[in-house]
Amino acid sequence: MAAAAAAAATAFSGGRRSPPRTRAAAVSPRAEVSCRRRGGGVLPAVPRRNVLSTMLSTSTVLILGPKQITLAETTGGAFREYIDTFDGYTFLYPKSWIQVKGAGADIFFRDPFVLDENMSVEISSPSSSKYTSVEDLGPPEKAAEKVLKQYLTEFMSTRLGVRRESNVLSALSKVADDGKLYYEVEVNIKSYASNNELAVMPQDRVQSLEWDRRYLSVLGVENKRLYELRLQTPEQVFMQEEEDLRRVMDSFRVIKAA
């Protein structure tokens, strides 16, 4: 368990170089744990592997300096809950997704198989932001324009012949079960490029679609800071995984920082 906790703490160490891994001692499937009853007698022996499995399937609390992270399994086992009490937010993420360190966001997870599918949380600086409500951004439609502009700025390309098409698919507000107001924004961005942009004849510089993505954002305010949960996924994948992705969106909450 000590090795597992050390490995987990390293995974959330904010981008510091991981120390060499140590191999945990193997647990024999035949090893068993037994306990005595009060008043005498011995309870039936339980395989140690089952005991460890039960302990690891509930929740794990990682304390990294002043920052406490909680990872907990959800009913059904398809999602894990990520709780950051230091920065003040929580959400569900697909159990199969992995954390990527050094991605620039406060936290970043991605699908290990669909590399264009990922999620992250961005937080405004505590020293330069004094938000009181997500309504400080204006109505949802205005907030959506800002979100789209930010995405386009981040994906700006210096390559010749690259063209982007974008539009806001939806922008709405909701009051969640914590009583707080959130904005939900969905945008689509398509990127077109030519693999022969230096050709002399225009007909040889035909652009084709290189990617088509859906971006989903949830914005909330707490601790005088603006929080944004971001989800990115290819449009074709979104059609297949929409229910799971919307569950992630619906789970995002901002909380009082510790």
pLDDT score recorded for residue 249: 98
* 161 — pLDDT class (breaks 50, 70, 90): confident
CB 75 within 8 A of CB 86: no
- Percentage of the chain modeled with pLDDT above 70: 67
CA nearest neighbour of 258 among 96, 105, 90: 90
Average pLDDT score over the chain: 79
Instruction: Look at residue 4 and tell me whether its pLDDT is greater than 60.
Output: no
pLDDT score recorded for residue 128: 84
Q: Where are the beta strands (DSSP E) in 76-234?
A: 79-84, 89-94, 98-99, 107-110, 118-123, 163-175, 181-193, 208-222, 225-234
- Determine the Cα–Cα distance for residues 248 and 74; give it in Å rounded to an integer: 12
Instruction: Look at residue 200 and tell me whether its pLDDT is greater than 50.
Output: yes
pLDDT score recorded for residue 60: 54
pLDDT score recorded for residue 148: 97
Instruction: Look at residue 188 and tell me whether its pLDDT is greater than 60.
Output: yes
* 8 — pLDDT class (breaks 50, 70, 90): very low
* 53 — pLDDT class (breaks 50, 70, 90): very low
Q: Which residues of 175-207 are buried (b: 16+ CB within 10 A; e: fewer)?
A: eeeeebebbbbbbbbebbbbeeeeeeeeeeeee
Instruction: Look at residue 41 and tell me whether its pLDDT is greater than 90.
Output: no
- Determine the Cα–Cα distance for residues 180 and 176; give it in Å rounded to an integer: 6
pLDDT score recorded for residue 113: 95
pLDDT score recorded for residue 242: 97
Cα angle 158, 166, 252 (rounded to 5 degrees) comes to 105
- Determine the Cα–Cα distance for residues 72 and 130; give it in Å rounded to an integer: 31
Ordered by start, the domain boundaries in the chain are 97-252
Higher-confidence position of 65 and 176: 176
Q: Residue type for 161, please?
A: G
pLDDT score recorded for residue 72: 60
pLDDT score recorded for residue 153: 94
Mean pLDDT across the stretch 105-119?
96
Fold of the CATH domain 97-252 = Protein Transport Mog1p; Chain A (3.40.1000)
pLDDT in tens, 86-103: 999 999 999 999 999 988
Half-sphere exposure at residue 103, Cβ-oriented, CA atoms within 13 angstroms: 16
CB 232 within 8 A of CB 213: yes
Q: Is 107 exposed, middle or buried (0-12, 13-18, 19+ CB in 10 A)?
A: buried
Tokens read off for 222: 């707490």
How many angstroms separate the Cα of 240 from the Cα of each of 3, 35, 36, 167? 37, 48, 51, 21
